[in-house]
């Protein structure tokens, strides 16, 4: 694959988590989260993006979100559980994405806020459009995802180089 071919990044926030008396990293999904995750998975599968790689935070709620969402996909992408995604800043997330091999075209990141929302804002820069307006209206609630596209190698990913092509959030 040429590094000039378009690439896609899907930033997917975990579904609604519960608040039991456990460490934050071990928080499971709430009942609503267990319902929203497959809906988000179906919506993402229906988008037709052929995902090559999923990078998932090691937190319980992200792993559970991914397990429920991926069942809706026609083909399961290779999944890497990446501890650096947990509590990552947008800059740290860009660094993780910069390590993606160039033969990978489309990547899904399953993570947390404020990182997912912040990274969407950083990568899309000041671009306008329908997806941006929906995201501004809704914020980046649990089980929401943003689809960003760019041209170039993963090493060239930096602030402002992406186009926000789609955004979806579950109904409240």
The answer to whether 94 and 116 are in contact (CB under 8 A) is no
pTM for the model = 0.95
> Taking Cα atoms as reference points, which of 80, 62, 60, 54 lies closest to residue 15?
62
Average pLDDT for 55-79: 97
Q: Where are the domains of the chain?
A: 6-168
What is the distance between the alpha carbons of residues 123 and 90, in angstroms, rounded to a whole number?
A: 9
Question: pLDDT (tens digit, 9 = 90+) per residue, 81-137?
Answer: 999 999 999 999 999 999 999 999 999 999 999 999 999 999 997 767 888 888 988
* pLDDT value at residue 20: 94
What is the distance between the alpha carbons of residues 153 and 156, in angstroms, rounded to a whole number?
A: 5
> Taking Cα atoms as reference points, which of 135, 2, 169, 37 lies closest to residue 123?
135
* pLDDT value at residue 171: 84
Q: What is the DSSP string of 129-144?
A: SHHHHHHHHH---TT-
The CATH number for 6-168, chosen from 3.40.190.100, 3.40.50.1240, 3.20.20.70, 3.40.50.300, is 3.40.50.1240
């Amino acid at each position: 694959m040429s590094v000039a071919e378009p690439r896609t990044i899907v930033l997917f926030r975990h579904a609604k988590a519960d608040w039991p008396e456990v460490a934050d990293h071990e928080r499971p999904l709430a009942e609503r989260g267990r319902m929203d995750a497959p809906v988000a998975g179906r919506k993402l599968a229906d988008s037709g993006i052929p995902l090559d790689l999923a990078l998932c935070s090691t937190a319980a709620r992200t792993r559970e979100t991914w397990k429920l969402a991926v069942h809706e996909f026609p083909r399961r992408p290779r999944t890497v559980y990446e501890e650096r995604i947990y509590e990552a800043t947008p800059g740290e997330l860009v660094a993780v994405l910069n390590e993606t091999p160039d033969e990978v075209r489309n990547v899904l990141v399953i993570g947390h806020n404020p990182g997912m929302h912040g990274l969407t804002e950083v990568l899309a820069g000041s671009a306008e459009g329908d997806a941006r307006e929906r995201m501004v209206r809704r914020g980046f609630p649990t089980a929401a995802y943003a689809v960003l596209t760019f041209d170039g190698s993963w090493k060239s990913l930096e602030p402002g180089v992406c186009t926000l092509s789609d955004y979806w959030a579950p109904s409240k």
